[in-house]
Amino acid sequence: MHILVTGGAGYIGSHIVKLLLENSNHKITILDNLVTGFQATIDTLTVIAKENNVTLNFMEEDLSDFSKIENIMHENQFDAIIHFAASLVVPESVENPLKYYLNNTANTANLIKCATENGVKKFIFSSTAATYGEPDATVVNLETGLKESDPTDPINPYGMSKLMSERVLKDTAFAYDDFKYAALRYFNVAGSDPDGRIGQSTKNATLLIKVAAETAIGKREKMYIFGDDYPTHDGTGIRDYIHVVDLAQAHIEALEYLEDHDSDVFNVGYSRGFSVKEVIDTMKKVSGIDFTVEIKERRAGDPAILISDNTKIKNTMHWQPRYDDLEVICKTTLEWEKKI
Ligand SMILES: NC(=O)c1ccc[n+]([C@@H]2O[C@H](COP(=O)([O-])OP(=O)(O)OC[C@H]3O[C@@H](n4cnc5c(N)ncnc54)[C@H](O)[C@@H]3O)[C@@H](O)[C@H]2O)c1
């Protein structure tokens, strides 16, 4: 296959590209405007492609340039698209919603349009647990995790921009027999390539495990816990952290799944959670550094518990997580942080 990977210079996209380069003969084209992605990541992936004798092209383009995207899609016979490119900072989406509806929803709709016009049969979409919003504990079972069939009610434009894209995909797949999609709702993505060749270089990261790694190695003086009075065993919020390589593998399984199954939406997580305190303690353990942590007020819109129910993906795809271990997640994050 010839696979278009949008956002392949970014954190998650680059891990999928690496897996594909190492484990398949698919020709890969990355399209990325490098707004949050890195040329250095493309350089590393180019080396990996050469080592594995696989073709990797890079196009530095912006998805909002519709006529350019139309030409690219017309000139290349892509068989599948894995679409990561997006804006993903939740507070920014509240301040600047149109950036999110344009970059995430409008650009995705145009990409889907180009896909249908040019015979692309498979579309894998990066969705998010943010589509569920703040789950109502009287309606869903927070302890056993959110199911794909649970209500979706995003509480910020980021989550809504992704849910709207899911809807565009659903309606398009209904209208076009030849077009199939899998929307993967990621929970909290963390960790880095265990080979240490790529990782998360995101600037001003707000994700807990990366922040803890930055604090452990002294890039930050201290870090904060936002709220220690949640109704959880230690009072801090519980999240489902998934290692980025297991998430990457889910995309590869999804491509295979679409060969002989219909379009669908899947949670990708481990179906179990760790509290903020547990994550920080694990980072302290693997780094050997007792860094400073301060307690602050709760942040608006942070649910107490957010865990996936991953029964659907496990029962329908051949997805077998290999890095479901908080120490491994923290260690690989830390190693990458030291490297950069
Ligand atoms: N990181 C997480 O925890 C998480 C959780 C759930 C969902 N997601 C989704 O996963 C996807 C990838 O996230 P990430 O963490 O790798 O982020 P990232 O910022 O590292 O990667 C996004 C990539 O898309 C590129 N990009 C953005 N807008 C573009 C445009 N208009 N044209 C071309 N390229 C563009 C960026 O340069 C970057 O390389 C996103 O769609 C995000 O919504 C991420």
- The pLDDT of residue 118: 97
In this prediction, residue 236 has a pLDDT band, given cuts at 50, 70 and 90, of very high
Give me the mean pLDDT over the 254-276 stretch: 97
All residues at 6 or more sequence positions from 189 whose CB lies less than 8 Å from its CB, including other chains: 11, 12, 207, 241, 242, 244, 247
| Span from the CA of 129 to the centroid of ligand 1 (angstroms) | 15
> Over the stretch 239-264, which tens digit does the pLDDT of each residue have?
999 999 999 999 999 999 999 999 99
202 Cα to the center of ligand 1, angstroms? 10
> Which region holds residue 204: left if phi is over 0, alpha if psi is between -120 and 50, else beta?
left
- DSSP codes of every residue in 231-247: SSTTSS-EE-EEEHHHH
Q: Which of 155, 105, 96 is nearest to 131 (CA)?
A: 155
Q: Report whether 162 contacts 109 (CB < 8 A).
A: no
Q: Spell out which residues line ligand 1, taking CB within 6 angstroms.
A: 6-7, 9-13, 32-37, 62-64, 84-86, 88, 103, 107, 126, 128, 186, 188-189, 202, 207
CA of 126 to the centre of ligand 1 (A): 8
Neighbours of 161 (CB within 10 A): 29
Residue 34 is encoded by which pair of tokens? Answer: 């490098």
For the entire predicted model, the pTM comes to 0.97
Query: Which residue is associated with the tokens 């989550």?
Result: 159
Q: What are the φ/ψ torsions at residue 220 (nearest 5 degrees)? A: -125, 145
Could you tell me the two tokens for 248? 């990457």
Per residue in 110-141, pLDDT (tens digit) is: 999 999 999 999 999 999 999 999 888 888 88
- pLDDT tens profile 64-121: 999 999 999 999 999 999 999 999 998 899 999 999 999 999 999 999 999 999 999 9
Mean pLDDT of the chain: 96
* pLDDT at 312 (0 to 100): 97
Of the candidates 101, 132, 158, 270, the residue annotated as catalytic is 158
Spatial distance between the Cα atoms of 215 and 206, rounded to a whole number of angstroms: 12
| 270 vs 204, higher pLDDT | 270
pLDDT class for 27, splitting at 50, 70, 90?
very high
Residue ranges per structural domain of the chain: 2-191+241-269
Give the whole-angstrom CA distance, residue 104 versus residue 99.
8
Q: Which residue has the tokens 């649910």?
A: 303
Query: For the chain, what percent of residues have pLDDT higher than 70?
Result: 100
Q: What is the pLDDT of residue 330?
A: 98
Residue whose pair of structure tokens reads 């509290």 in the numeric block: 275
Task: Say which CATH topology domain 2-191+241-269 has.
Answer: Rossmann fold (3.40.50)
Is 158 tagged catalytic?
A: yes
pLDDT in tens, 288-310: 999 999 999 998 778 889 999 99
Q: Which atom of ligand 1 is nearest to the CA of 34?
A: 37
Residue 185 has pLDDT above 90, yes or no: yes
For residue 200, the ligand 1 atom closest to its alpha carbon is: 20
pLDDT at 304 (0 to 100): 87
Nearest of 190, 193, 233, 140 to residue 330 by alpha carbon: 190
